[in-house]
Structure 1
């Protein structure tokens, strides 16, 4: 992201109170307990196994470790994962 676009995005989040995840294209991750994970604003599924799911996002990937995980819903910009979720990490 260039310096001009970065300044514009900062202005949008500061002055107009727009959410940073929308302006900067960040993923939004919502976890309910350790059994339900909802990821918005992703760029595709990379790996799907019952103990590892990797989801691409604009500046890296989101890695989910767990047990007996399944994908309940997969849409263009959102994914719902269920199972025993042990950890969620962001890798650049």
Structure 2
């Protein structure tokens, strides 16, 4: 990240108290129990299998391992995954 942009992002998160996920374009991941997973601010679906779903994000992949995984909702910047979710990993 360029020094000036890094400085501006730090100012936005520090002084204006804007959430880092918005300023830095990070995904927001919400896991409800072990059956619902919401991923906001993603960059596309890479892999879709009943035991593995991979979603592209700014600097890598979000890997969701489980069983009977289904995509309940897929929008440009939001995805909802349901099934028995075992783990969620970030892979660069």
The two structures have a TM-score, normalised by structure 2, of 0.98
Unaligned runs of 5+ in 1: none
In structure 2, the partner of 1:32 is: 32
After superposition, the CA RMSD in angstroms is 0.5
Q: Where in structure 1 do 4 or more consecutive aligned residues deviate above 4 Å? A: none
State the 1:50 CA deviation. 0.4
The two structures have a TM-score, normalised by structure 1, of 0.98
Distance of 1:76 and 1:6 partners within structure 2 = 26
State the 1:46 CA deviation. 0.2
Distance of 2:33 and 2:17 partners within structure 1 = 29
Distance of 2:25 and 2:89 partners within structure 1 = 17
Query: Residue 17 of structure 2: SS of its match in structure 1?
Result: coil
